[in-house]
Amino acid sequence: MMPTLRKPAEVKRRSRPARVGALASLPLFFPLEGRKVLLAGGTEAAAWKAELLAAAGADVHVHAQELEPAFEALLAAGSIKGRFVHHRSCWSQKDFEGAALAIADAESDEEAEAFVLAARRTGVPVNVIDNPAYCDFQFGSIVNRSPVVIGISTNGVAPILGQAIRRRIETLMPESLQGWAQLASRLREKTLSLLDAGAQRRRFWERISDLAFSGSSAPEEEDHLAEALLEDARTSAAGKVTLVGAGPGDAEYLTLKAVRALQSADVILFDDLVDDAVLELARREARRMLVGKRGGRESCRQEDINDMMVLLAQQGKHVVRLKCGDPMIFGRGGEELDRLAAEGIPATVVPGITAASAMAARLGVSLTHRDHAQSVRFVTGHSRKGDLPETVDWPALTDPATTTVFYMGARMAGRIRDRLVAEGLSAATPVVAVSGISRTDEKRWSGTLDELERGVDLLGLEGPVLIGVGQVFRAAGRQAGQGEGFEFNQVFSVRGEIAGAENRGIRTLGKSAAI
């Protein structure tokens, strides 16, 4: 059946609520350079706060008759930016005068209450360490790439979660970012005076951002680089195209480079199966154009997609062609690159996790387990004419030491089985079929080659189906049985129930499970 053709269509981003959602607290960034901060206590916890405050440039007045060794060492080393002033006495009301903040490590609630009352009489915001009831503000977890500073707060209810979030963000922020942010600060006035508002300035800052996340260090002498970037921003109106792999579904499978491409795009041409969560990572102002192609369904012609990429790039746009999986594995990325090259349009590729790799990870199966398979093949399940591909070396696919993964083969499952058996592959060969890999509606079936057509029919054709053939998948069935009572010839719903499953004789599980 020939698919119905459709034209690329712009998809409006879902409108966000006009009102800001409820905030547990208001995040603020408070400059402290050269300002007085009162700190009561000589404990190790107080020392950590003192170091943090001084790193922001504060004059930290420490009131403590005795200091723990960690605090003594801190005062001896000094601060990288601010300074410490140690008073070997308890605080008094007059010590709050002129202070921007007041922090205490109190030994009792009575001591905390007295400190808070004194601070509030002078109108100074106060924090009592590890005692939220006496705090006007909290210290959050910090990612420091100054002048880029990221603060994370859970409002004191889940500090371990805050630390976990900080670690996740740290992986996204290369150490070299600090040098580029400092360079950007030095170049700011020059860009305002030499570049027009709008496209020129945006091109300049996008290029700086690309360099900041490239992993390379910012140059110590920036004059030559600055002039080159300024000239490029003034004169360059050429667009570009980035082919980006969105992975099989789960947005967490995106690479950092893919996220950066999405966040710098002017226009995104995306496939039907790209998850909304992936698109939510894109730049808010980017136009979103649906150009999906689905077997047997309403689809855009590849020629129309190519024409649109060329037209938009010629208008000076950064076009992201967002494809499921990897653009260069059954994604027709080669055809698109050829057309762009013929038009003289610069294009780059950001690879994505291909469905076969995601399936192996989800099943806990090595596609090249050395006891079972010494090679792996990715094979398309149909030709341009909608039939089995005759250019495939079918006899080679019967090698028992080879794992074969068929893409886009759901409608041809019966014919794939017949051809492999006819070429000599045992009908008892283990196979798996997975629909909607890594998505909320992921479903799995495991059985033998002889039963493949029935298994794929049980999965249904609503989502993309991947078929794996080979001895490595025998372990998948055994592991599943050990974990959840899952056996061959059963469909397994990973996240949630399958509608109508009981009527179809399909086993369902209401929770995530590994096989």
CA neighbor of 396 nearest in space, from 380, 377, 413: 377
pLDDT of residue 225: 82
Specify the CATH superfamily of domain 356-504. Tetrapyrrole methylase, C-terminal domain (3.30.950.10)
Contact yes or no for 32/99 (Cβ under 8 A): no
**Highest-confidence segment of 98-112, 200-214, 218-232:** 98-112
- Across-strand partners of 149? 144
pLDDT of residue 202: 78
Distance of alpha carbon 224 from alpha carbon 227, whole angstroms: 5
pLDDT in tens, 168-187: 888 888 888 888 888 888 88
> Is the pLDDT confidence value at 260 over 90?
no
Distance of alpha carbon 515 from alpha carbon 511, whole angstroms: 13
Distance of alpha carbon 511 from alpha carbon 457, whole angstroms: 23
pLDDT of residue 376: 94
pLDDT in tens, 147-167: 889 999 888 777 788 888 988
**Where do the DSSP E strands lie in 436-500?**
443-448, 465-469, 490-493
Distance of alpha carbon 436 from alpha carbon 360, whole angstroms: 14
pLDDT of residue 496: 38
> Is the pLDDT confidence value at 492 over 60?
no
- The whole model's pTM is what? 0.66
User: Pick the residue with more confidence: 497 or 133?
Assistant: 133
Residue pointed to by tokens 């010494």: 374
Q: Alpha helices, DSSP H only, in 385-494?
A: 413-422, 452-459, 474-484
SS3 content of the chain, % helix, strand, coil (to 5): 40, 20, 45
- Across-strand partners of 405? 378, 468
Q: Which residues are catalytic?
A: 271, 293
**Highest-confidence segment of 277-286, 424-433, 478-487:** 424-433
pLDDT of residue 233: 73
C-alpha 377, offset from chain centre: 28
Flag the least confident range among 212-216, 281-285, 306-310, 489-493. Answer: 489-493
Q: Thinking of the domain 36-139, which architecture would CATH place it in? A: 3-Layer(aba) Sandwich (3.40)
> Is the pLDDT confidence value at 389 over 80?
yes
CATH T-level topology, domain 240-353: Cobalt-precorrin-4 Transmethylase; domain 1 (3.40.1010)
| Phi-psi region at 313: left, alpha or beta (left = phi > 0; alpha = psi -120 to 50) | alpha
Distance of alpha carbon 176 from alpha carbon 5, whole angstroms: 48
475: which 2 tokens?
């372990």
DSSP reduced 3-state for 484 = helix
What value does the mean pLDDT of the chain take?
85
> Is the pLDDT confidence value at 18 over 90?
no
> Is the pLDDT confidence value at 51 over 90?
yes
pLDDT of residue 61: 98
**Where do the DSSP E strands lie in 53-147?**
59-63, 83-87, 99-104, 126-128, 141-145
Contact yes or no for 200/233 (Cβ under 8 A): yes
**Where do the DSSP E strands lie in 147-257?**
148-152, 240-245
DSSP reduced 3-state for 190 = helix
pLDDT in tens, 60-95: 999 999 999 999 999 999 999 999 999 999 999 999
